[in-house]
A and B are shown apart, each in its own frame.
Chain A
């Protein structure tokens, strides 16, 4: 198939960017979206142009590196990551708009590459269980009911791609933050730091310049891993509970 691409090109964080139009031909419907961009880039290099920069790594939908807004939707029309989106979901002759994640907390680095290190800082502020190596009791010392383990897993599936922030009209990181809070706070292993975790992570989230939640639900629609919107409610509950209990305990 032949396509028209309108891609955001921006040399670096300091310079302004613009949508630039490209034509690509001979696209196979079995190609992934990134393979289609590879194809474009090979042509650009040979033509003496600079290829389009985009983040990608595992191309299996699990590392969370890739992500672009395709036709106004984070990761495009399918509920998956960009690397797992295939060209069979487009039609010959389509015009496709490709833009980077837009959020103040995710500044553009180049073209479609953005800086998501704010996520790492949120995790660093409390998204862990303090269990230094060697300090662990036997794995069976604390049984965890299966529904609880499953609930934790469901929230631990987050790949940190940032689609939730990109899709949110407020650039909010509530779904990302809440996924980690719920994962760890429902488990017995996470209980000792339950209060400090949610308070610290919310504080860091705010400090990073993400917007607040207005419960539009766009994040959960865009999430390639299906993190549920109820995670945000659960985090709010944890936050209020921690606040009412008098805050940080350490």
Chain B
């Protein structure tokens, strides 16, 4: 194990460039790319096998679409059914530049809002393509029978969402992610039934097989039998989601993990902007040390709820006893034009600030009020119930408080990771033949994601972008078999089985969860909503020690030849312990503040994030060199031809 000073002494390698991106006017680039991309003859597609890891919006959509095109798809998910991927938990909605409301929306405005919302750290070409494709997604989902909310005239309803001033968010009550995912799952199920997709549920990818510099397959473990097997293919698509669970407490599903992308990173895929994590402002505060995860309340609540804290520090009166003039509706006060609808990073940080001032509410002062009293008075309880009924129910179930009568308490929580595997315009990583889609890649959201854009990106990548771009790769790489005894294959299997055996053999005195909690707390404190050089260096000092302790003291009961949930957990934590280190290093090196990454050293006089465009207008793509040894930084410089970087202002 190396010490901190070694790890932080990273070297800067060659800049990384996006060779796949077409030139020309931005609105024509996607058409041009699709035209220039080579195609695979329909008759030959069956011969090509594509592995898809993950069955969320991106993976489910990609698996179904690739199979419809005629490819042989082999797909994996760790859940017992592809229908349970965590996309299902997205509540609020999905953006699309349909302009059905005639409120001034357009592809260009969605593009503009997304680049600006991402604090100018996203690639323009990608974001524009996302905005273009957004309109097709809605068409596709409606055709699949996704029951979006509708107006009495039978047309689709939309609502507004944080960070924008148009109503472009399509929704299905508070369960948009569920309905979109079921649409993709049903399309995928149809292909499974038809024999075009070979589905492996309860099977977790544990390594990537790279043969002669090309991704040619994966090593995966059957979670029921414990059997470790290899699967080879002509291309591998990772749709395994984000890495927010590194924080232990997050809104991610308990089993969402970073193993697939981290293993790919170790095999040569660059990891971009790992420190860009999104903190969601409206989560239910934690109730005690037993807390196993955090629950999000849809951001759409901010459309009608008003956020406030008492003006006075340490005011412990019940909310109803605090008179109007002793309340501070701080978002409305600081950001009058966007008010409660400011982007997530701003809303989260503002909540942290008021709590740090000692004005937080609830146990431990870690919460702010989200008050619907005014909305109920204005719209009537029935209308509020129709709009948010299920969210209110969920809140009451968890907290035993009735939000129709007592204001909700909310606090920010880790929700989404903008960083991920570096991909080019074709969504291909730096390992040829390895693609990353959805939250697993870094591409479209820059340093901050706008609400209702994750569903848009996942489906854009899965239904429309990847199926077009992967053709080009497969056309240029005619099928050839990988021998099962190839050293790259056997080596990867040996690595996986050795690691599992080591975990099982250790017989220490600490549980996997205890390490995960400790790591999560450390990251939340030092690499969470606000970051400082001191804190990050402290974390970078602690992580290698924790890693060492992990291998010394971990205890995993049972065997590897059965369903062993402790083994699954422990094995994921091994990767978190490395990823966390890279996140802290990335946060340390980026001495500017931007989007979700707030360095206290880089703030405007008003306390807002201050970017340093001259120094940091790039995506940081890190190359793995070894556990605990300094990675190599490759910069992809970002140029802005259409949206000129400005200080984001929502005041």
Contact = CB atoms under 8 A, between A and B. Distances in A.
- Chains A and B in contact, CB within 8 Å: yes
Interface of A: 11-12, 28, 30-32, 34-35, 38-39, 42, 44-46, 48-51, 53, 55-65, 78, 80, 84, 86, 88, 109-110, 113, 115-117, 119-121, 123-125, 127-140, 142-146, 149-150, 152-153, 156-157, 159-160, 183-184, 187, 189-190
Nearest to A87: B290
A145 B566 contact: no
B397 A146 contact: no
Contact of B83 (A64, A84, A129): A64
A55 B89 contact: no
Given A65-B79, A65-B84, 5 more contacts: A30-B287, A65-B80, A120-B199, A145-B154, A189-B144
B253 A57 contact: yes
Interface of B: 61, 64-65, 68, 79-86, 88-89, 98, 100, 136, 138-145, 147-156, 172-173, 175, 178-179, 182, 185-187, 189-190, 192-193, 199, 201, 224, 253-256, 287-288, 290-293, 295-296, 394, 397-398, 400, 463-464, 467, 509, 511, 513-514, 555, 557-558, 562-563, 565-566
B253 A63 contact: yes
Contacts of A80: 397
B293 A59 contact: yes
Nearest to A200: B193
B175 A189 contact: no
A63 B186 contact: no
Contacts, number: 224
Contacts of B81: 64, 116-117, 119-120, 160
A205 to B, nearest CB: 14
Contacts of A184: 145
Given A113-B563, A160-B83, A144 B154 contact: yes
A139 B158 CA distance: 13
A41 to B, nearest CB: 8
Nearest to B563: A110
The listed residue with most B CB atoms (<10 A of its CB), out of A38, A60, A64, is A60
A129 to B, nearest CB: 4
Nearest to A63: B84
Main secondary structure of the interface of A (DSSP, over half): loop
Contact of A128 (B190, B467, B563): B190
Contact of B86 (A57, A78, A131, A153): A57
Given A135-B143, A136-B142, A123 B464 contact: no
A127 to B, nearest CB: 6
25 contacts: A11-B562, A45-B557, A46-B511, A50-B558, A51-B557, A56-B255, A58-B86, A62-B88, A63-B86, A65-B80, A115-B80, A123-B185, A128-B190, A129-B145, A131-B143, A136-B143, A137-B139, A139-B138, A139-B141, A143-B154, A149-B154, A153-B179, A156-B172, A189-B143, A190-B145
B149 to A, nearest CB: 7
Contacts of A50: 557-558
A120 to B, nearest CB: 5
Nearest to A120: B81
Contacts of A140: 100, 155-156
Contacts of A64: 81, 83-84
Given A110-B563, A131-B143, A153-B172, A125 B193 contact: yes
